[in-house]
Structure 1
Amino acid sequence: MDSAFITVGMPIALIIIMMGLGFEVTLYDFQRVKNNPKNVIIALFCQLILLISIAFGLIHVFKLEPLLAVGLMVLAASPGGSTANLFSYLFKGDIALNITLTAVNSVIAAFTLPIVATLSIQFFMQGHTTVGIQLDKLIQVFLLILVPLIVGMVIRNKKPNFAKKMESFVKYFSVIFLIAICFGALLKEREHLANYFSSVGLVCALFCAISLTIGYFVPKLFNMREAEARACAFEIGIHNSAVALTIAISVLGSTTIAIPAAVYSVIMIFFAFFVGFIFKMKDKRMKYSNDLHIGQQNFND
């Protein structure tokens, strides 16, 4: 990919995406954490502890090569995004909880993502000097995630009508940008694609399936409502691939590291729709059961 696009275009694009995320967030979304801390803590535990641990385990089970291993860890540490909110809307999740989780997780990811990236490079890239992350790069990741989010929130607070109008533009832009980056990364690595897909495709599919499963059933174990569990499932299972791709290509300077995020960004859409279909079937069964129960009561009366 063109060097100017990597060094300038991708960070600017990520800034726009994170600012657009800020357009959806208000201070009240953070205040919900105090009002209902249990749900947020459970979801963040799944996102920050369980998923990263599972990604680490999958890397060892499937013996991924070092660059792909770093890429999967960066993906696992990436926060959710607007796409998770969209799927929650489509399949009756708790949108308010989604927005709260996205806001909180994005702030936390500004700190944890550089740490995970650095530790992953140090662990998996022993003896390799082609990839590295220095202090200025750590600061760059922090600024790319957190500052645009805050700016977007300030604009939302001061100019709510403008923010509302820009939301749809940023969502379309995010999709186009993600497709362009995925295509570019895959095109640049086209000579190794068959090998990469054979080694990382199954891992990404398993990671996505496990993420969605954990995101739904762990909250259920802690007695979350159905809508809240669905919100957690999509928030935990759908990562902000644009963040992972930008860090891989622009900050770490490796399209190979970007491959897991590129593959995952395609897989997660199909898996999310499949899970949404299951939720729809569950809703139909519940409605049928309720209608049957009401009919039986009316008959008895």
Structure 2
Amino acid sequence: MTDILSSYIPYILQVLLFLVMFGMGMTLTVPDFTRVGIAPKAVITGLVNQIILVPLIAYGIVILVPMEPIMAMGLMVCACSPGGAVSNLFSYLSKGDTALSITLTAISSIVTIFTIPLIINFSLDTILGEASKSIQLPLGRTIFNIFKLTALPVFLGMFLNYKFPKSAEKGKPVIKWGSITVIILALIFMVLKLEEIGDSWSFLKAAFFSVVLLNFFTLAIGFISAKSIKLSTKQAATISIESGMQNNVLGMTLAMSPSLLNSPEMAATPGVYGVVMSVLAIGVIFIYKRMILREEKV
């Protein structure tokens, strides 16, 4: 790989993220943002899981599990990145409440514009300490950078959906499965960047255990919290998937972007998370699908 290609990888990731969020926007409509009035308990529970509980679980893992500070920061970056179009696909395949999944994705993609910089700056201070001074994220600039990478393409996609609804509807299957392709491309570029600065395999191994813990516990807490307030299995499965399936492309972009954290090493954890969550999703889809079908037969 040439030095020129290497220098462009962070910008390529930004383009890939923009495309993912634009595609997700093409599947959204205004009612997706207002559905909270129809199912307030489910939407609020899902948002509390995504925005509060998932970062808290990640921080607990950081405190309890010995790991390099840069890997710990990567875990926090991953935890504050909400579910994306892939979580909608997994919810659909598991027979979950797809409308709820889309609503959670829509709202969290806006709310996390403001929560991501707060969580990351807190994590930088507590995990990296003095070393964080060189990469502290200015709040206003960070919110703007995240907005142009996430909310802006979502709104553009929604506008296209509004203007050309029939074309957008036909393209939904391509958009959903195309997101998987983008994740794979993003992982390839991340590995290439890690190879430039060291042994990518060592970075991936270092992140693996903490990533498995985060994925397992967030999936579990999503399901348990939903069932504890007597939501249906269909809704509980969806909240579980939305809690456990993070937007790892966003996480890698936040870590590697020159205007944000500018740390390829930090991107290893969200990258590994993308692989782990996709593998575990096979089992999760099978289990939840059987549970939902069994409940619907009763």
Using the size of structure 2 for normalisation, the TM-score is: 0.88
1:297 match: none
2:6 match: 2
2:105 match: 102
- The structural deviation recorded for 1:114 is 2.0
- Residue 149 (1) aligns with residue 158 (2): no
2:217 match: 210
1:253 match: 262
The more displaced of 170-179 and 229-238 is 170-179
2:203 match: 196
- Residue 93 (1) aligns with residue 73 (2): no
Please list, as runs of the form range in 1=range in 2, the aligned pairs for 1:125-144 lying within 5 A after superposition.
125-128=128-131, 131-134=135-138, 135-144=140-149
Show CA shifts across 1:114-155 (max 9, x none): 222222223222222553433434421122111111121122
1:293 match: none
Give the 3 Å change call, closer, same or farther, for CA 204–94 of structure 1 in structure 2.
same
Distance in structure 2 (CA, Å) of the matches to 1:66 and 1:100: 34
The more displaced of 122-131 and 145-154 is 122-131
1:114 match: 117
- The structural deviation recorded for 1:166 is 4.0
Distance in structure 1 (CA, Å) of the matches to 2:295 and 2:146: 45
The code of the aligned residue for 1:133 comes to: L
| Preserved CA contact (<8 Å) 2:86 2:179 | no
The more displaced of 247-256 and 258-267 is 247-256
Aligned residues between the structures: 288
The more displaced of 276-285 and 71-80 is 276-285
- The structural deviation recorded for 1:186 is 2.5
| Preserved CA contact (<8 Å) 2:234 2:292 | no
- Residue 235 (1) aligns with residue 239 (2): no
1:167 match: 172
- Higher Cα Rg: structure 1 or 2? 1
Show CA shifts across 1:17-64 (max 9, x none): 111111111111122112221111111111111111110010111132
1:223 match: 230
Specify which of 26, 29, 42 is matched with residue 26 of structure 1: 29
Show CA shifts across 1:256-276 (max 9, x none): 111111101010012121122
- The structural deviation recorded for 1:207 is 0.7
The code of the aligned residue for 1:215 comes to: G
- Residue 275 (1) aligns with residue 284 (2): yes
The code of the aligned residue for 1:56 comes to: Y
Distance in structure 2 (CA, Å) of the matches to 1:123 and 1:77: 16
Using the size of structure 1 for normalisation, the TM-score is: 0.88
Distance in structure 2 (CA, Å) of the matches to 1:196 and 1:11: 22
- The structural deviation recorded for 1:169 is 4.2
Identical-pair percentage: 32
Q: Give the root-mean-square deviation of aligned CA atoms.
A: 2.2
Distance in structure 2 (CA, Å) of the matches to 1:204 and 1:267: 7
| Preserved CA contact (<8 Å) 1:131 1:254 | no
The code of the aligned residue for 2:36 comes to: V
Distance in structure 1 (CA, Å) of the matches to 2:187 and 2:94: 26
The code of the aligned residue for 1:245 comes to: M
Specify which of 70, 81, 86 is matched with residue 78 of structure 1: 81
Distance in structure 2 (CA, Å) of the matches to 1:79 and 1:51: 9
The code of the aligned residue for 1:45 comes to: V
Distance in structure 2 (CA, Å) of the matches to 1:65 and 1:189: 16
Specify which of 274, 294, 297 is matched with residue 265 of structure 1: 274
| Preserved CA contact (<8 Å) 1:74 1:244 | yes
- The structural deviation recorded for 1:244 is 0.8
- Unaligned runs of 5+ residues in structure 2 are none
Show CA shifts across 1:181-236 (max 9, x none): 21232243344445434432111011101111111111011110111111111111
- The structural deviation recorded for 1:180 is 2.2
Specify which of 59, 62, 67 is matched with residue 62 of structure 2: 59
Distance in structure 1 (CA, Å) of the matches to 2:51 and 2:292: 30
Distance in structure 2 (CA, Å) of the matches to 1:248 and 1:279: 32
- Unaligned runs of 5+ residues in structure 1 are 291-301
